[in-house]
Structure 1
């Protein structure tokens, strides 16, 4: 434990004084509550924030509403609320996993999907769509197929990356990229052999992401995966500090980098698989948010993992709101919004001469 604590102190010493993470968490928590209420009220049918809060309170407390408000209440509670909450959960999960993956592979360009998990999930979703498999899951068949595809991708990446040379960061990244390209080719073959409009729509959804299919039934599993995964990553925050310093430093401090990397890969794969199964592959959130948070609170992973989920949740709520309102009544793929925001932000970060992975 002493060795790990020393590594955390080394990471802290590499960055100048930062804003208190507790203050940032408090501000983001308030912003998340306000954003959630506003996003639930906005859409093709606009509902004032005070009315939105009243409907939400009625749903939570068992209160009554007027008969003339039933339709609006159903829109708020049955359609928009699960969607906005799912967006917040997925944004939080992608940001937390992004922090872990970047430390795990020591690559500033890494994100939760660099391991090929999203491509495997897309293959699973498309395969279920064109074959009608997993019918026992009913309306959740496609999501179940996506989750199984994500797990299969994680297993293949783990097996291929665990070669004689150990699971080095470079080996893991290259394996993930190669597997991702392979899954994308397989998905293209499936769509080509089964030229069905529904399969094409499914491919678009799983590659660009969205929360249009959000339901209350999907929330408990996603919430459990994100909360538990983030909690476990927080417990491993000092280990992440060590891995970010390099394998040689980890070995000198008595930390088995390969073993820790395998455990983190398994955890990241499970959490990402659950999220991709309900939202599709959403890019840039897990890539950009960790960098932005490090600039504010420093490089110590205990702080970054406390703030990044809240920042990701706020961002995703507003990104989803933009996706469903900018060209209303049509809906933009969520990946378009995250890319339009993420690309300029990331390029701006890279242009900062003082910015380095893990801090300034």
Structure 2
């Protein structure tokens, strides 16, 4: 029992640290850019409610950084839940095709429903959600066997699905007009430059619904870590857990793709960083991953805006450059653990 207290203290300290880091990164992201604003002066500028700095913050910076935090939190939370559901730390919404399916749904809407006008703000997240949900259900059906879900089959099927989706988006790119092509480029590379208050007002309710579906799954996922048979004997409704986890992850990824396009690796990096700093308990891992994912997304957007200023690097490129080597490290670490076993 004595050994448990330092672990619980580590969990609480990690959650406290990430809870404080998120508002600090939001201030940093809102302040830095082509028109620099002192981050510590931002609260006073907002209270005054006037001036050029106020207009820059309210019209441009705040919807961008807040949207980045929401997207990062959704992707990280969805990644943590899917890793717990499949009991494999290498699972990521992008690797198993959920993000690609959501991007294809958004691309289909952009090209096949031209001139949607006001309906685009409402229908685009719906199409992205349906694409992510269908991709998840398809992969689940392929990987499911009488002995459970085969993770290797899931990952291989995800690679194949990513290739097919890439071909589909390439075909849509060929058929698209110049205006549609610009939108498709945004979806494939990812970014937060198009975020507005109007888009956030539409997407945030769906984001809160995804958070409400996924955050309460901590205790069932802890039981599932012992194995499906053990979780069943502990009173966990496995089918209900799987349906809720899949639907919540698909909704979260769909909203994230609808808001920011293809921003990858946050769903893999954030949960692993929390495990390294604190531990694997899902009661702390799920909210901690969401907080850390939000901070990482804001920092990635800040790097995208400042590294090549006045030009802007797509955020998906930044996250891939940072997340790709991290994923290779995880693969090599997993390989060493299997070899030792």
User: Greater CA deviation, 318-327 or 246-255?
Assistant: 246-255
Residue 52 of structure 1 corresponds to 42
> Would the aligned equivalents of 1:93 and 1:271 in 2 still touch at CA under 8 Å?
yes
Residue 232 of structure 1 corresponds to 213
Residue 302 of structure 1 corresponds to 283
The 1:235–1:76 alpha-carbon spacing in structure 2 relative to 1, beyond 3 Å, is same
Aligned-residue RMSD, C-alpha: 3.0
Residue 205 of structure 1 corresponds to 186
How is 1:330-349 mapped onto 2 (pairs within 5 angstroms)?
330-349=311-330
Kindly indicate whether residue 11 of structure 2 is the aligned counterpart of residue 21 of structure 1: yes
Among 255, 259, 265, the alignment partner of 1:278 is: 259
C-alpha distance in structure 2 between counterparts of 1:150 and 1:134, whole Å: 21
Q: The residue matched to 2:7 in structure 1 has which SS?
A: coil
C-alpha distance in structure 2 between counterparts of 1:105 and 1:134, whole Å: 40
The 1:174–1:343 alpha-carbon spacing in structure 2 relative to 1, beyond 3 Å, is closer
C-alpha distance in structure 2 between counterparts of 1:204 and 1:244, whole Å: 39
> Would the aligned equivalents of 1:87 and 1:211 in 2 still touch at CA under 8 Å?
yes
Residue 32 of structure 1 corresponds to 22
C-alpha distance in structure 2 between counterparts of 1:19 and 1:351, whole Å: 30
User: Greater CA deviation, 227-236 or 71-80?
Assistant: 227-236
Q: The residue matched to 1:99 in structure 2 has which SS?
A: helix
Residue 292 of structure 2 corresponds to 311
> Would the aligned equivalents of 1:230 and 1:305 in 2 still touch at CA under 8 Å?
no
C-alpha distance in structure 1 between counterparts of 2:210 and 2:26, whole Å: 22
Structure 1 residue 117: Cα displacement = 2.9
Residue 6 of structure 1 corresponds to none
Residue 158 of structure 1 corresponds to 137
Kindly indicate whether residue 72 of structure 2 is the aligned counterpart of residue 82 of structure 1: no
C-alpha distance in structure 2 between counterparts of 1:221 and 1:28, whole Å: 27
Residue 5 of structure 1 corresponds to none
Residue 325 of structure 1 corresponds to 306
Structure 1 residue 169: Cα displacement = 4.7
> Would the aligned equivalents of 1:93 and 1:230 in 2 still touch at CA under 8 Å?
yes
Question: What is the TM-score of this pair, normalised by structure 2?
Answer: 0.85
Equivalenced residues, count? 333
C-alpha distance in structure 1 between counterparts of 2:233 and 2:177, whole Å: 56
C-alpha distance in structure 1 between counterparts of 2:31 and 2:98, whole Å: 34
C-alpha distance in structure 2 between counterparts of 1:92 and 1:125, whole Å: 20
Residue 31 of structure 2 corresponds to 41
Residue 214 of structure 1 corresponds to 195
Residue 126 of structure 1 corresponds to 107
Structure 1 residue 109: Cα displacement = 1.8
C-alpha distance in structure 1 between counterparts of 2:206 and 2:267, whole Å: 16
Structure 1 residue 24: Cα displacement = 2.0
Structure 1 residue 351: Cα displacement = 4.8
> Would the aligned equivalents of 1:157 and 1:179 in 2 still touch at CA under 8 Å?
no
Structure 1 residue 87: Cα displacement = 0.6
C-alpha distance in structure 1 between counterparts of 2:31 and 2:132, whole Å: 38
C-alpha distance in structure 2 between counterparts of 1:284 and 1:94, whole Å: 9
C-alpha distance in structure 1 between counterparts of 2:137 and 2:253, whole Å: 15
Structure 1 residue 191: Cα displacement = 2.0
Structure 1 residue 352: Cα displacement = 4.8
C-alpha distance in structure 2 between counterparts of 1:354 and 1:160, whole Å: 24
Kindly indicate whether residue 127 of structure 2 is the aligned counterpart of residue 148 of structure 1: yes
User: Greater CA deviation, 245-254 or 310-319?
Assistant: 245-254
1:27-56, Cα deviation, whole Å (9 max, x unpaired): 222222122112111111111224322222
Residue 168 of structure 2 corresponds to 186
> Would the aligned equivalents of 1:104 and 1:169 in 2 still touch at CA under 8 Å?
no
Structure 1 residue 258: Cα displacement = 4.0
C-alpha distance in structure 1 between counterparts of 2:128 and 2:40, whole Å: 43
C-alpha distance in structure 1 between counterparts of 2:86 and 2:177, whole Å: 39
The 1:31–1:99 alpha-carbon spacing in structure 2 relative to 1, beyond 3 Å, is same
Residue 93 of structure 1 corresponds to 74
User: Greater CA deviation, 31-40 or 247-256?
Assistant: 247-256
C-alpha distance in structure 2 between counterparts of 1:178 and 1:258, whole Å: 26
Structure 1 residue 195: Cα displacement = 5.8
